[in-house]
């Protein structure tokens, strides 16, 4: 149950000044959450409509706005099409989660299904899913300045994932810091987001969803107290690949001032269906085979019930039969490209600072679950092939072509309440509870060292967002500040976090890159 807390008013004209209905209270028919009178920042006019948020007892100094539409429902003729900006919907009750986008269902056991389900999505799923969520401090926090903004892209292999995931809710972080705003999005995944159909001009509409969220944030975040000129685009896994892709796709008009790519870069996101046959195969499975033309094929598939389409795709893939079908980003020359070294060499990438890194034991997140794990050698091989080496290639590419600055890291934390089995280590996603500040909420409280690591990472992320033109800094427990060095292949500039009992240290990139053939 949401417990309302009244947030005090701002001076007229301040950054967080809200917009209220003329009668000064929630409109007829809206639930009364206790925000009476002007000044609490819980009713905000946006391009989507008048958004009504809430605060609750677990984070009483955080204004929350859940399920805010940023695009028209991508249904009917808008299925597989680029997103259409949401027109004003009048009043919007932003007090509960919107459903996640249609998820491709897996059939195997993973550490996420068996040990750490807090990374998985909650609630239902729907084709009508293009919503974002905003967490902002109490209005007093933005009296002096507009606050830096993180726009976060959830991961999920481009086949699943969404905003409603308990390990990745930033309310406690914002409650404590009172210094930033976080926007977390849904975007279309699998065939709904990456149809790659012959009849379409835009094959990767899920990436266009992400761009629209950035544009919506630019146009509306000032009303929440945010600074539209300090937007950091941050994602993990497929989200990290997305933020990396974004810099190449919108090189001349990035809007964002910084990019953070956790465990994912542009090079991991290129699908192989160049012949564009997968969509036709799926069309045949749902009764749209042998269509008279490409246009007729897609028109037919647009009429198939969304649940039927998703179940058919999931069941076919889980059966393990051929030909294999996959719907993830494909090179289209618009949002995804075939050669990122060439684009960087030609300057076709946004000249913005980037944090890019990976975890020491990524492989744990990509192997079938067994209680004792597959062994260290297997995990290291998967870690290198799937994540660490593509990340290494991207940061070396940026360094080679002077796409500066790049701040590179490896996260190695192994904390028992986040990694309940010792062999899990710093698995894929395990840094997120430390950064979002949710690490202590499940499987027991955190150690003092774990809190230290969490607050150190948060401080660096916030420093990067607040001052994008200078190196991120964070205070050290023993005094002084750590200053993150710009990555350079000739210096010890790979920053390692939580390696054993060491909070932070710099190292040669060869710790990772030698195994990747980048020596």
d(CA 205, CA 327): 12
Q: Can you give 163-225 as a three-state secondary structure string?
A: CCCHHHCCHHHHHHHCCCEEEEECCCCHHHHCCCCCCCCCCCHHHHHHHHHHHHHHHHHHHHC
Interval 464-498: pLDDT, tens: 999 999 999 999 999 999 999 999 999 999 999 99
Annotated active-site residue 362? The verdict is: yes
Q: Say how far residue 428 (Cα) sits from the centre of its chain.
A: 14
Is pLDDT of 290 > 70?
yes
Interval 344-363: pLDDT, tens: 999 999 999 999 999 999 99
CB 148, CB 181: distance < 8 Å: yes
pLDDT band at 16 (very low <50, low <70, confident <90, very high): low
Q: Please check whether residue 171 lies inside any domain of the structure.
A: yes
Q: Please check whether residue 235 lies inside any domain of the structure.
A: yes
Q: Please check whether residue 53 lies inside any domain of the structure.
A: no
CB 166, CB 284: distance < 8 Å: no
pLDDT band at 7 (very low <50, low <70, confident <90, very high): very low
Arithmetic mean of pLDDT, 313-319: 96
Domain that holds residue 103: 58-70+99-273+329-485
Is pLDDT of 31 > 70?
no
Q: Please check whether residue 86 lies inside any domain of the structure.
A: no
Q: Please check whether residue 88 lies inside any domain of the structure.
A: no
CATH of the domain at 373: 3.40.50.1820
Q: Please check whether residue 91 lies inside any domain of the structure.
A: no
Q: What angle, 0 to 180 degrees and rounded to 10, lies between the N-to-C axes of helices 278-285 and 306-319?
A: 110
CB 216, CB 207: distance < 8 Å: no
- Report the pLDDT value the prediction gives residue 145, as an integer from 0 to 100: 87
Q: Please check whether residue 7 lies inside any domain of the structure.
A: no
Interval 166-189: pLDDT, tens: 999 999 999 999 999 999 999 999
Q: How many domains does the chain have?
A: 1
Helix (H) or strand (E) holding 499: strand 494-499
Task: Determine which one of 362, 394, 431, 458 is catalytic.
Answer: 362
Arithmetic mean of pLDDT, 392-411: 96
Annotated active-site residue 237? The verdict is: yes
Task: Determine which one of 180, 428, 454, 463 is catalytic.
Answer: 428
Using a cut of 0.85, tell me whether the model's pTM lies above it.
Answer: yes
Find the length of the chain: 519
Annotated active-site residue 215? The verdict is: no
Interval 117-145: pLDDT, tens: 999 999 999 999 999 999 999 998 877 78
Is pLDDT of 162 > 50?
yes
- Percent above pLDDT 90 for the chain: 88
d(CA 456, CA 448): 12
- Report the pLDDT value the prediction gives residue 20, as an integer from 0 to 100: 30
CB-count exposure of residue 294 (10 Å: 0-12, 13-18, 19+): middle
Indicate the average pLDDT of the chain: 92
Arithmetic mean of pLDDT, 58-79: 97
Task: Determine which one of 237, 242, 244, 463 is catalytic.
Answer: 237
d(CA 184, CA 66): 9
Q: Please check whether residue 187 lies inside any domain of the structure.
A: yes
Residue from 37, 62, 30, 202 nearest 133 by CA: 62
Helix (H) or strand (E) holding 298: helix 294-301
DSSP H stretches of helix in 38-153: 111-114
């Amino acid at each position: 149950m949401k417990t309302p807390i009244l947030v005090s008013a701002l001076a007229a004209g301040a950054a967080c000044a809200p917009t209220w209905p003329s009668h000064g209270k929630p409109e007829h028919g809206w639930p009364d959450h206790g925000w009476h009178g002007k000044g609490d920042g819980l009713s905000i006019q946006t391009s989507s409509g008048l958004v009504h948020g809430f605060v609750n007892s677990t984070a009483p100094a955080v204004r929350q706005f859940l399920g805010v539409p940023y695009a028209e429902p991508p249904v009917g003729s808008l299925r597989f099409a680029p997103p259409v900006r949401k027109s004003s919907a009048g009043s919007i009750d932003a007090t509960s989660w919107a459903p996640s986008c249609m998820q491709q269902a897996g059939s195997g056991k993973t550490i996420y299904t068996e040990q750490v389900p807090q990374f998985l999505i909650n609630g239902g799923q729907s084709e009508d899913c293009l919503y974002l969520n905003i967490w902002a401090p109490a209005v007093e926090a933005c009296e002096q300045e507009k606050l830096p903004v993180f726009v976060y892209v959830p991961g999920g292999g481009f086949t699943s994932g969404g905003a409603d995931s308990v390990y990745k809710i930033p309310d406690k972080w914002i409650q404590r810091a009172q210094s930033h705003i976080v926007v977390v999005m849904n975007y279309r995944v699998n065939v709904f987001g990456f149809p790659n159909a012959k009849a379409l001009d835009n094959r990767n509409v899920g990436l266009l969803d992400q761009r629209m969220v950035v544009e919506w944030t630019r146009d509306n975040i000032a009303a929440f107290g945010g600074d539209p000129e300090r937007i950091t685009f941050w994602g993990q896994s497929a989200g990290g690949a997305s933020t990396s892709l974004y810099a190449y796709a919108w090189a001349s008009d990035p809007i964002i001032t910084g990019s953070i790519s956790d465990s994912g870069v542009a090079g991991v996101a290129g699908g192989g269906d160049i012949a564009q046959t997968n969509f036709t195969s799926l069309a045949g499975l749902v009764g749209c085979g042998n269509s008279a033309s490409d246009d007729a094929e897609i028109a037919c598939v647009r009429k198939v019930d969304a649940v039927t389409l998703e179940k058919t795709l999931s069941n076919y893939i889980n059966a393990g039969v051929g030909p294999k079908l996959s719907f993830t980003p494909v090179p289209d020359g618009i949002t995804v490209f075939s050669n990122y070294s060439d684009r960087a060499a030609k300057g076709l990438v946004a000249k913005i600072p980037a944090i890019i890194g990976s975890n020491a034991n990524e492989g744990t997140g990509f192997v079938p679950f067994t209680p004792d794990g597959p062994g260290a050698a297997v995990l290291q091989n998967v870690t290198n092939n799937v994540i660490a080496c593509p990340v290494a290639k991207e940061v070396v590419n940026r360094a080679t072509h002077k796409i500066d600055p790049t701040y590179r890291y490896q996260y190695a934390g192994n904390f028992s309440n986040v990694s309940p089995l010792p062999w899990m280590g710093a698995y894929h996603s395990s840094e997120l509870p430390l950064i979002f500040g949710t690490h202590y909420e499940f499987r027991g409280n955190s150690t003092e060292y774990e809190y230290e690591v969490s607050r150190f990472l948060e401080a660096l992320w916030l420093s990067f967002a607040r001052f994008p033109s200078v190196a991120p800094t964070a205070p050290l427990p023993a005094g002084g500040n750590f200053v993150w060095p710009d990555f350079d292949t000739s210096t010890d500039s790979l920053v390692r976090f939580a390696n054993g009992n060491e909070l932070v240290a710099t190292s040669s990139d060869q710790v990772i890159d030698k195994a990747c053939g980048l020596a």
